[in-house]
């Protein structure tokens, strides 16, 4: 009876929290009006502002936009017209109406927006080349160029160049939703957080479907804390998820023995299903940079190489952040770390203007040798595993936390005061907690 009440209790709690936050948002809006009026009056005249061009309107890019538009002439470039909260996208496989909840229009009031695909950089003339549908090839001048073009993922998980508007994106998801709904058996290739979260969504909505996860690793989510791993495994096994672990797929990357009806393992064993999903990691979107700058800027896996100040190798006025770049800290690529990168980029850009020494990553932002390791792996709507360095919280409380992160982040990207305020406080708190209370092993 207690277990049966959890979904109701969770839905009720999130509804109540949403109501409170929406009311707070109105209060903050009112408080903000005189503050914004004062800022507009005291702002630098447009002609005195340096031009910052940000490519990629997601976690890293939008963090920079929110923190730079008051002092710089900011232009944001993206090939789609909306922000989509990737960590929440897997729920859309089973609940189509979740898509608008995790999508927001891009902020237009505070900076310029160019809808188009960045295709090259002329570093000598400080020009970004952008292919737009409406005006063809455009060249945008910059004093500083910030690259946050992130990564691509197999299937529909991340928006493609063809999904420029949210209605085009909805069309993709409508067919994905139908494909999964019709499938009686599902094969998920990859037992990392994405594969596990997808299985969690499917088994929560469709407990009758037969789901198999296969991975060459011996355990699910190998890179995560043992308490997280055991919680995930127990949860999936309880729902009769078939785990085929410790066996590689036949063929050689990228030509693996995977097709639309299943995959063949190296042992010759065939895993078949009505629907097959590849959850095997992401690829950086850096080819367009590699095409126009020296090849020393890009590593063998296609990531942009940055120095300790997050400047692109060899360029003082070009920064890279988020999934698209690789840095010596080798931290896991998350929305959270993309924003911590962005934080340092913003600080360093301002320091360049003031001719002050630049900060190094990550110490310059978090005051420690590594960023707090914060993650939340959901298991459907009502369960999750939350990690903050060594502290692990499993169960419905973690699921509420996941909802809170999602709701407030989408609000922040909509420039709603409650979202911006929540994350200004949360970022500071997480750095403080990571430094003094729940420390990383390296700090
Ligand atoms: C299924 C899934 C679940 C995840 N769950 C979590 C989670 O729970 N917590 C977490 O912290 N992280 C999670 N992550 C990781 C997180 O989503 C990424 O680390 C994060 O999105 C990286 O942000 P970014 O700003 O670097 O780039 P991205 O989010 O990849 O965005 C890049 C942007 O650049 C644009 N772009 C790309 N190329 C061009 C171009 N040439 N011209 C113009 N625009 C371009 C794209 O349209 C996009 O808007 C998850 C990832 C996946 C796939």
Give the distance from CA 117 to its chain's centroid: 19
Q: Please identify, by atom number, the ligand 1 atom nearest to the C-alpha of residue 61.
A: 25
Which residues sit with their C-beta closer than 6 Å to ligand 1?
55-61, 77-80, 86-87, 89-90, 117-118, 148-151, 153, 157, 159, 194, 285, 288, 322-324, 333-336, 338, 376
> 33 Cβ partners below 8 Å, 6+ apart?
none
**Distance of alpha carbon 242 from alpha carbon 187, whole angstroms:** 9
Strands (E), 67-109: 73-78, 82-84, 103-105
Alpha-carbon span 236 to 379, nearest angstrom: 9
- Supply the ipTM of this predicted assembly: 0.99
CA of 44 to the centre of ligand 1 (A): 32
How confident is the prediction for the chain on average, in pLDDT? 94
For residues 435 and 366, the answer to whether their CB atoms sit within 8 Å is yes
pLDDT for 236 equals 98
Helix axes 417-432, 2-42, angle to 10 degrees: 100
Residue nearest to atom 30 of ligand 1 (CA): 150
CA distance linking residue 180 with residue 110, whole number of Å: 40
pLDDT at 442: 56
Distance 150 CA to ligand 1 centre (A): 5
Q: Where are the beta strands (DSSP E) in 170-218?
A: 185-189, 210-215
- In tens, the pLDDT along 212-252 reads 999 999 999 999 999 999 999 999 999 999 999 999 999 98
| Atom in ligand 1 nearest the alpha carbon of residue 117 | 42
For the stretch 118-138, pLDDT in tens is 999 999 999 999 999 989 999
Domain locations along the chain = 1-42+372-443, 182-280
pLDDT value, residue 443? 47
Probe target for ligand 1 pocket from 131, 338, 342, 407, with the most ligand atoms within 8 Å of CB: 338
Which position has the higher pLDDT, 152 or 70? Answer: 152
Residue 1: pLDDT over 70: no
Report the distance separating Cα 176 and Cα 171, nearest Å. 9
Cis status, amide bond into 171, omega within 30 of 0: no
Q: What number of residues does the chain have?
A: 443
Pairing assessment for the beta strands 185-189 and 275-278 based on DSSP bridges: parallel
Rounded distance between C-alpha atoms, residue 264 and residue 232, angstroms:
25
Q: Which atom of ligand 1 is nearest to the CA of 119?
A: 41
How many Å is the maximal CA-CA distance in the chain?
Answer: 71
% of the chain at pLDDT higher than 90:
82
Assigned architecture for domain 182-280: 3-Layer(bba) Sandwich (3.50)
**90 CA → ligand 1 middle, Å:** 14
Q: From CA 18, how far away is CA 3, in angstroms rounded?
A: 23
**What is the Cα gyration radius of the chain?**
22
Distance 37 CA to ligand 1 centre (A): 33
What does the DSSP 8-state code read for residue 28? Answer: H
Report the C-alpha gap between 198 and 209 in whole angstroms: 13
Measured from the CA of 339, which atom of ligand 1 is nearest?
A: 25
Q: Whose CA is nearest to atom 50 of ligand 1?
A: 87
Residue 176 phi/psi, 5-degree rounding, is -65, -40
Pocket test for ligand 1, best of 53, 54, 55, 56 (most atoms within 8 A of CB): 56
Closest Cα to atom 39 of ligand 1: 149
For tokens 């990691």, what's the residue? 281
Tell me which residue has its CA closest to atom 41 in ligand 1. 118
The ligand 1 atom nearest the CA atom of 60: 25
């Amino acid at each position: 009876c207690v277990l049966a009440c959890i979904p109701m209790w969770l839905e009720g709690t999130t509804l109540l929290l949403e109501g409170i936050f929406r009311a707070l948002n109105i209060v903050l809006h009112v408080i903000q009006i005189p503050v914004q009026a004062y800022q507009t009056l005291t702002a630098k005249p447009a002609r005195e502002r340096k031009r910052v061009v940000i490519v990629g309107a997601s976690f890293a890019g939008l963090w920079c936009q929110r923190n730079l538009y008051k002092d710089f002439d900011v232009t944001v470039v993206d090939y789609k017209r909306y922000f989509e909260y990737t960590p929440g996208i897997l729920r859309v496989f089973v609940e189509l109406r979740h898509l608008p909840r995790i999508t927001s229009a891009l902020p237009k009031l505070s900076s310029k927006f160019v809808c188009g695909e960045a295709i090259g950089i002329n570093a000598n003339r400080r020009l970004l080349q952008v292919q737009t549908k409406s005006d063809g090839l455009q060249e945008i001048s910059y004093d500083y160029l910030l690259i946050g073009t992130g990564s691509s993922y197999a299937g529909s998980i991340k928006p493609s160049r063809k999904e420029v508007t949210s209605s085009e994106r909805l069309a993709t998801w409508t067919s994905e939703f139908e494909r999964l709904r019709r499938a009686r058996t599902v094969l998920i290739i990859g037992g990392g957080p994405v594969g596990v979260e997808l299985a969690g969504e499917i088994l929560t909505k469709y407990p009758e479907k037969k789901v198999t996860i296969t991975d060459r690793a011996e355990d699910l989510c190998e890179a995560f804390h043992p308490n997280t791993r055991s919680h995930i495994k127990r949860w999936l096994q309880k729902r009769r998820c078939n785990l085929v672990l410790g066996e590689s797929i036949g063929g050689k990357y990228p030509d693996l023995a995977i097709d639309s009806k299943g995959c063949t393992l190296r042992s010759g064993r065939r895993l078949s299903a009505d629907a097959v999903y590849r959850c095997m990691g992401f690829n950086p979107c850096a080819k367009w940079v590699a095409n126009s700058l020296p090849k020393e800027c890009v590593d063998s896996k296609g990531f942009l190489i940055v120095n300790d100040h997050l400047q692109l190798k060899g360029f003082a006025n070009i920064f890279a952040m988020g999934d698209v770049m690789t840095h010596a800290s080798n931290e896991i690529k998350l929305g959270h770390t993309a924003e911590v990168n962005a934080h340092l980029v913003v600080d360093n850009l301002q320091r360049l203007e003031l001719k002050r020494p630049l900060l190094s990553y990550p110490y310059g932002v978090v005051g420690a040798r590594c960023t707090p390791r914060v993650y939340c792996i959901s298991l459907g709507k009502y369960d999750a595993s939350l990690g903050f360095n060594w502290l692990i919280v499993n169960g419905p409380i973690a699921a509420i936390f996941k909802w809170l992160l999602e709701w407030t982040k989408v609000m922040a990207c909509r420039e709603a005061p409650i979202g911006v305020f929540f994350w200004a406080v949360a970022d500071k708190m997480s750095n403080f907690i990571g430094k003094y209370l729940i420390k990383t092993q390296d700090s």
